[in-house]
Amino acid sequence: MLGLAAFGSVAATHVHCNWSAGSRRGSGIALVAMCCVLAVSAYFLYYGSDDALRAANAWAHIAAGIAATAAFALHWLMRNGERDSGAKVD
């Protein structure tokens, strides 16, 4: 739940303000997509009842978490590259 609250806060401020700039849009879209997959898979983990589907969903949730971490790292590293080149950074 804390992750959803943090994602909502970032979506309302950072994403909204920086979408028109266009920089790092690809990595940002990947990060938002992974957060959505995490939210949906968490919902199914909480409310799912079939053990086989729950086990598969648990692995999907773990994979999405790893992918979201990688997407965040990519997004952040691209920001540092812009900072070094003198581009506008929020």
Say what the pTM is. 0.74
Closest CA to 28 of 84, 20, 88: 20
Q: Report residue 4: phi and psi, to 5°.
A: -65, -40
Task: With residue 64 as reference, give the H or E element that holds it.
Answer: helix 51-85
How is the chain split into domains, by residue range? Answer: 2-85
What pLDDT does residue 83 have?
Answer: 57
What pLDDT does residue 64 have?
Answer: 93
Q: How far apart are CA 42 and CA 46, in angstroms?
A: 6
List, for residues 42-66, the tens digit of each pLDDT value: 999 999 878 888 999 999 999 999 9
What pLDDT does residue 86 have?
Answer: 52
Residue type, 6: A
Q: Which residues of the chain have pLDDT under 70?
A: 80-90
What pLDDT does residue 63 have?
Answer: 95
